[in-house]
A and B are shown apart, each in its own frame.
Chain A
């Protein structure tokens, strides 16, 4: 939002035009697919990847791995292990990419070690986090919501909350045809009705999310219109257009 439109000098002026043209080229996609829009997308991808690589090297690899190893090679042996794994990962990945998926099997096996470590750690962390941060606290809170006392509205809200939460879980996780196969009809009907309550809650929630998404995207669009207006003024296009308008009409 706070684009550096105020920068002066030739670089700033060129930048203004580049930003303006890139934005307009991307926006032209709304009218129809065109080569300019695709060119702008490719420029964006190239710049984004280049930026990410520089950040990865200059902000992570160098200060946290290579720099410390060069400064004090004996200080932290674990960094050598990390560097070794990273080298193997990069070598195996690059050979695999360059050869079109025909890297030697021993190299792939070696490269699989760091990948397995990363994947294993990610899954373990995600599972632990899901239990600690969502399952346990949300389950406890949901259970407590049905046990409130006080004003009738509070009680009704609490019970409704519990009903909808459990209904949504049933709707998402229980398949009456599979999980209740052979169960009495009344049980299937009961579970179906419970799930139906949860389903309606989810539909309502989807509507609310849509409305909030609208507010969010209008903010983004308004910010872009403001950017375009500012860029048009600073590049002088606005003035030219005004003069043209006055000359014509």
Chain B
């Protein structure tokens, strides 16, 4: 038969395919050395009777093998197979260190039951002796992760069969993706229509916000500040929330700002945000002048992070790039990704020693916490809660339009996060009920 046979589900794929068009599994995984990872070694050592990877005569290579889940992700409720069970260790064998977990798919029911470490890795499947072929076993769930892989690959694949696979609804207990999408859309969209005019609720105050505010407040009038603008319109929905109060505070502090961005659309994004911040502090006719007074330069630099060291020191290159060789009093990094803040802290700050305040996406904050703890970051503002906390610290009272925007943001967060919590709980509840049913029937 022409084509590559998927080692996991047996589907025949085109010769040049890298991933299975049905389950998304890596078609060349058997090419990798069996001992590529420690976990793989451990798994192999614990399953001496399992067919070796790459063994064409083994069950793995057979197209008739029952469907198996996508190996990379699936450790959950899956279909039993004829995979040999592991022998129990002899009773007299001395207690060994806890075995390394098995990264390979563990599709039999005993494996499902014992790979439930949760907060404890107490059990291993050698301690149970459950026949995976017994009636009432867990029915098959679709390849977890495979669908996501297909979604991603479909964007790049000209093969229509990849797209067609997605139209097949997954089996219980996996909800169809569209229902999940609908829940999220309704949870965020509907409350926005009926959100109150006043923000309600309490925001979590994360460490670093007050320190960021204090660092900007301490700037002398006319201080030179550099802003590393590492976000564009893709993430502006969140990052503009963070950047607006910081930029407004810089306007209040009468700072002179040089903006540098490594993103082509960074300067345009900065232009619009600065204009917005200026309109918040000054009437429309004067806002343009306010923005002009704030921004000395707004630059796009090519070359990626490699160019960042050129922004340090009293060099000609720096003067050529920034139009000035004077020392900056403060660096503000506005970034969607922790890696951009990290790049600044690695490539610029050790050389010029300028204090750094980071305004980032909420998702970047946990990673950057280490830099905050080590003192490399002077302040850290992240996410909608960090943004609103910073805004509360500004002396200017809220305008109606700001108050309503804050109310909408909080409403969306309330209901959106509630939906996420509900989905997580539902997934666990279904998995628990489903498994309990399976256990009773064993």
Contacts and interface: CB of A to CB of B under 8 A. Distances in A.
Contact of B346 (A133, A188, A221, A226): A133
A59 B300 contact: yes
Contacts of B362: 212-213, 215-216, 219
Contact of B301 (A60, A126, A221): A60
Interface stretch (A91-99, A100-108, A170-178): A170-178
A216 B264 CA distance: 23
B302 A214 contact: no
A132 B374 contact: no
Contact of A223 (B238, B267, B417): B238
Contacts of B349: 133
A146 to B, nearest CB: 13
B33 interface: no
A217 to B, nearest CB: 8
Interface residues of A, number: 58
Interface string A14-50: 0000000000000000111100000001000000100
- Residues of B contacting A: mostly: helix
Interface residues of B, number: 74
B22 interface: no
Interface string B283-319: 0000000000000000111111110010000000000
B189 A219 contact: no
Contact of A132 (B100, B305, B346, B365): B346
Contact of A222 (B96, B237, B321, B370): B237
Interface stretch (B325-333, B408-416, B432-440): B408-416
Contact of B420 (A32, A140, A214): A214
Interface in B378-428: 382-385, 408-409, 412-413, 416-417, 420
Interface of A: 1-2, 4, 30-33, 41, 48, 51-52, 55-56, 59-60, 64, 118, 121-122, 125-126, 129-130, 132-134, 137-138, 140-141, 175-178, 185, 188-189, 192-193, 196, 205, 208-209, 212-216, 218-226, 229
Given A212-B382, A226-B192, 20 more contacts: A1-B236, A1-B240, A2-B273, A31-B178, A32-B166, A51-B264, A59-B299, A129-B350, A132-B346, A132-B350, A137-B376, A141-B375, A178-B38, A189-B97, A193-B97, A219-B384, A220-B238, A221-B412, A222-B192, A226-B408
